[in-house]
Structures are given as structure tokens and as C-alpha cells.
A and B are shown apart, each in its own frame.
Chain A
Amino acid sequence: MKRSAAEIVREYGPFEGVKAVHGVSYDGTHVWFASGDKLNAVDPASGEIARSIDVAAHAGTAFDGRHLFQIAEDRIQKIDAATGKVLTSIPAPGGGGDSGLAWAEGSLWVGQYRERKIHQIDPATGKVLRTIESNRFVTGVTWVDGELWHGTWEGDDSDVRRIDPDTGRVLEQLDLPAGTMVSGLESDGGDRLFCGGGDRGNVRAVRRPRRTAPR
């Protein structure tokens, strides 16, 4: 396992009126983050909030190319990113103990915080397809280039880690400075990982290290 300090390349926020960041996503243009009763789109160049959708947003956020998925209470709502309308909702696998959310390969991936699990679910029905065990509280989840990353927060330590999707084994770990929380995770498809900053109300961009060998 490779372990190193996370390299924070940029910080967005804290934003006015935002008490906490509960989930993070990226639609190719904007970084979205969940702030309780809103989904906010941040322009990563200017760092300003470009747009907001009024919707319950209590934990993870994901984007499938057209829709935003947002955990609210014990459900996952599917939201039309263009209009902000809630289209459908499915039960969340953790029954409200859910935290992170990611979209990849036709599935939703849901972190179950205190259970230290990541569920792969059918986005149409919410049916659990399989479950990966982690050994830390799972905050955010993301896929990039076939790599499964998740954020952790336990005790006073937070890190983002790449795990083996089959075994849950930690392959790589980037430690955030002590007391810095990761409350949501999303890759930009390149070398940046956006990390929600919890009750600091900000979002950090952390550099994703280049792999030395393919997985």
C-alpha cells in the first residue's frame, strides 16, 4: 500500500450561508455540492456558486451525465440537472445511514458510513448488487479510470484511499492534515479529486497521484 500526504491544490469556499458540505459531484463543468437544503454548482475556475437547486441534500451526490442523484433522509432522489425537478426516488441501501454516492458503469455506489461499507446498487430499483467492506467510516465514493476511491473520517483523521473493488484492500492512501474532514468525494476524470470539507463548509481539490503501474 502506498501512503502519502494529500496534496491540496485548491480550496473553494467557505461559501456564504453554507453551514456544511454533505456531498460532492462533478458534471464536467461545475462542481456540485450538497448543503442540506440545496445543491450548489461551483465554477471551478472562479470558485463562485453559479447555480443552486432547492432540494433536500443530506449526504452524497452523484451525476450520470444527465441526472443528479442526491441522498435525502433514507432515499436517493434522481434530479433533472437542467430543470432541478425531482424525477424519481429509490430507497437508500443504508436506510438513512448512507453517506457517499457515486455513479459508474450503470450503477450507483453508496457509502454506508458507520457500517464501513460500499454498496453497488441498481439505480432503477435500489436493489443491492454487491457490497464491499472497508475498514474505516466511508464518507465519499468515486470511480475514476477503473479506480475506486473513497473518503474516510474516523476519530480525528481523514484520508482518501483507493481500494481494490473486489477485496476492499487499501491500495493507496492520501492523508489529509489532522482535523481536515472529507465529507464527499468526486473525481474530475483527470488528476483532481474534489473533497467536501464537512462543517468547514468548503470543498478542496486534492491531486490524484499518477499510477506507476496499471491495476
Chain B
Amino acid sequence: MESLITAAARALEAGDPLGALNRVALRNDAPSLALRGIAMAQLGDLAKAKVLLRNAARAFGPREAVARARCVVAEAEIALVSRDLSWPVKTLAAARATLEKHGDLANAAHAGHIEARRLLLLGRADEAERTLAEIGTSPLLPASQVVRELVIAGIAIRRLRTKDARAALDRAARAARQAKIPALSAEVDSANLVLDTPTARLIARGSEHPLLLGEVEKLATSAALVVDTFHHSVRKQDVVVSLGTRPVLFALARILAQAWPADVSREALIAGPFQAKNADESHRARLRVEIGRLRTQLKPLADISATKQGFVLAPRKTRDVLVLARPVEEKHADVLALLSDGEPWSSSALALALGTSARTVQRSLEELARSNKVQSFGQGRARRWMTPPVPGFPTGLLLPGPILKT
């Protein structure tokens, strides 16, 4: 390999992107473009990095398949980090196949991890797991090992398997120390934080206390009736009634569960979900209809009985009713609640689920995005929204390390 390219690549590897740029800033040959792209990515100019890497891929000759494939992988990672999930997945798969075919297993694994991270970001945990399994058993570089374990942890957290998540994060921490990349260690630490910070609030019989993820996990096997504001569902063990698309019914269920074993007055039931200050006869009529609908939905789990002043929840075959809520309930909580299922939502789907206008949802989303509580990817009609993902993939860039070795 060429002298200055070697020097610049070594500077990049040593975490000195400016040193790398100094050496190749004025050169426009393919390896220099690729190096400049990676340096710009590390410096945070992702837009410029993307253009440089694309130009590099084009500038490499038709016979330099491996070098091209590495550029594609680097560009895919930039796309992932900038949440441009519309990036052509097939191109990445082809690059991965090329790298595998030519024995560049380290970068092939890197490409596979990018695929898995993308799938996890989209909430497709099963597919992410399958992709990880394909990466094979050849020993990974420590940095790659960290990413792999973070994805495994992310999948486990999605599935509420705290023990698996913790084990994966321990392995990730060890690999990060070996890799000696501070950003990766920080990534693992922040992922660990998720397991040690209350992720939910439990409300039962008028009192509440914070819950760790592991405790949330235990609720899945508890005999209590759980009103889950994360998934907008009412459940007991394996019986789940999903009210994700019925926000009014869910709101009623929640108010009833929170008051249980006491009843709730008609006025309170109307003031909450209907957001009406003064209940009139039409509201009362609507309440009767909605309670009827909720009764039908909850049939396998509970009944709703009328009392003198309102309604009371009557759970079947359990002595406990719990409400699982977000640690802090805030403005736009309804939007957040839907988004926290980890799936990407279009604003029109959210509007539909919440029974509000697309414009209202749009305003909520924009406000939430400004405080980094939600994020979007895609443009126009393809735009999707989701909450910041569970830890599972580094937000920073790793980029194919030995991109320019040969």
C-alpha cells in the first residue's frame, strides 16, 4: 500500500482523524477519498462523509471489489447512525457477501452487525437475532464483540429478559476494555444504566413505587391483573387484551385499575378520557357505551360492575390489580406510550390510534423530538417515528477499521 495512505490509516486507527486528514486532504484518489470520508464521519460531519465514501466507492476500479465493499459498509454505518433506514439494505448484503468471499471476515462481520443493529432499531428482534447467528463463530475483534453483545442485550431487553441482558452487557464491558475504545465503554455503561435505573412505576391500591426492568419482567409471571401503559394492554400472565388502538377504553381501564378496589365516579370517568369539565347527559350516554365496549374487551380478565356513583373493576381469579406506568408521566404521554412499543409509527397511524388529528400528532412529535424523546427516520410519507431505542446498538461510528489495508 502507499506510504501516505498507510500513515493516514494508522492515524485514523489511533483515533487521530485530523492527523489522517492532514496527510490526504488534497488528494482525490480512491483510498484518499475513503480515508477522508471516515475521518469526516469521526469528526461528526456525516453528510460530507457520505458523499466522500460514495465517491471513493466509485473511484475504486472495477477489480477492487473488496475496497468498494468496505466503502459501502462504511456508508451503511453512517446511514444507520443518522437513522436513514431507507438506505438500500440489498447493497449492504451484497457488500457483506463480497467481503466474506474474499476472506475479509472482520469487515464482513461488521457489515452483519450493521444489519442486525438496523433490524433491532426497527423492532424486528427475531430477524436481528437470526442475522447475528449468521455471522458465524470466527473470533471477532474486540470492538466487533462489543457491538455484537450490545445487540444481544438490546434483543434481551426488548423481550424483558433481564438476566440475559445483564450477561451480554458484562461480556460487552470486558470486550470494550480490550478494545480500548473509550466511546464503546461509555456506550456499555449507558446501556447498563438502563438495567439499574427504574424504567417504570407500579401503582397499586393508591400507592406507587419505582420498578427496575427485572421487576417489570417478573410481572409477566405474576398472578396480578396488570394494566400496562407501555403496551396499552391489560393482561394477566399469558392472557393479553391489547387496547393499543382504543385509547379511550384504555384510559377508562387505567382509571378503574388505579382506584381498585374502590369504585370511580361517573364524573371522574368522564373528566379523564373525555376531557370534559362538566359532564352532561350526552357524556353520560357515551360513558355507558364505552364501558360496555370495555366490558366486552376485558371479558377474559375482569368484569366491570356499576355502583351507586360510578363503576368498579372486578378482576377474575386474582386478588391484585396493578398499573404499570412510565416513571414520569408527561405531556404527550399518549404518543410516547404508543411509540414505546419499539415499533416505528407513521404520524397518521398515531393519529388514528389516538383518535386525534394528524396535525395534533405532528405537533406533539415535533415537540418531543426537540427534547430528544422521540426520533424519526425517512422522509415524506415514508417518515416513521419511534422512541430512542433500547440500548442495543452503539450510536457512534466504528466503521471498517482495516478499510485501506490492501
Contacts and interface: CB of A to CB of B under 8 A. Distances in A.
Interface of A: 19-20, 22, 36-37, 56, 58-60, 71-74, 92, 94-99, 113-114, 139, 153-157, 179, 181, 183, 198-199
Contacts of B7: 56, 58, 72-73, 96
Contact of B2 (A56, A94, A181): A94
A198 B29 contact: no
B226 interface: no
A113 B65 CA distance: 17
B1 A155 contact: no
B66 interface: yes
A73 B23 CA distance: 8
Contacts of B23: 73, 96
B405 A99 contact: no
| Residue among B3, B27, B402 with most chain A CB within 10 A | B3
A97 B64 contact: no
Contact of A156 (B5, B31, B102, B402): B102
Contacts of B209: none
Contact of A58 (B3, B63, B402): B3
* Dominant secondary structure at the A interface: loop
B1 A183 contact: yes
Given A58-B7, A99-B2, A181 B406 contact: yes
Given A20-B405, A183-B1, A155 B64 contact: yes
Interface in B39-72: 61-66
A97 B4 contact: yes
Given A36-B6, A114-B30, A156-B102, 18 more contacts: A36-B10, A58-B3, A73-B3, A73-B4, A73-B23, A74-B4, A95-B4, A96-B23, A97-B4, A99-B1, A153-B406, A154-B63, A154-B64, A155-B62, A179-B102, A181-B406, A198-B406, A199-B402
Contacts, number: 84
Q: Which 4 A-B pairs have the closest CB atoms?
A: A155-B63, A96-B4, A199-B405, A59-B3
19 contacts: A36-B6, A59-B3, A72-B3, A73-B3, A74-B4, A94-B3, A96-B7, A96-B27, A97-B2, A98-B3, A113-B2, A114-B31, A139-B1, A179-B102, A179-B103, A181-B406, A198-B1, A198-B405, A198-B406
B4 A58 contact: yes
Contact of B3 (A99, A154, A157, A198): A99
A95 B63 CA distance: 25
Given A20-B405, A198-B1, A198-B405, A58 B6 contact: yes
Interface in B347-406: 402, 405-406
Nearest to A96: B4
Nearest to B62: A155
A100 to B, nearest CB: 10
